[in-house]
Structure 1
């Protein structure tokens, strides 16, 4: 599959905000201020499962998820970091990285379908995006 035919699923486009373009993945922030929640989407058309990626791309996905998880933990310290690739609603391959804290809006249950999303206020969104980008840049240097 070619990266040139990649298109972000409309639901992911609507529910998330662009953070960065990584070597394999589009990194997005879930627009739900209740949770520090990233979504990595490999820029490969037609991918549904991690196993659909080539072996080297699977390794790249895990390397990028580790890098993003570290950035998220630096920006939003947490009690537990959840990773998941469910795809029951949005079939396009995407990996969730969610920083969970005891007492958050869904604790201890899953964040998926846990009430209505609370979009970030404009300033809070800009602050969160800037902090994540700075952490990712720091990690590269």
Structure 2
């Protein structure tokens, strides 16, 4: 397999979410233990209120970045991306909410992965590279 060039902007086949529920739009980097995504906050975002992305949208962006890691891993093995869900969320800190037209960058470190359960640490940065959110979550692949 050829060395992958990033960014990858056509990621719709890598995540189970579909419009209007998509909260990631670009794969910036990928390894076995890390994934980095970005997402532009557009006016038609369902989590946008008063030109600000709500907390729920930020958390969904975190979870979809984890899904992007799983989906791209499956894609590299020529397998279809599985559906998963958030198993648990802990230690979420939201320091600042992104606004309309911001491009947020989400970095996920895979802490543990076993039998379809993935534990991760997540950090989200705004356009100015300022950390705006962080947390830990567990995602589970649905059978």
TM-score by length of structure 1 reads: 0.32
More helix by share: 1
Structure number with higher strand proportion: 2
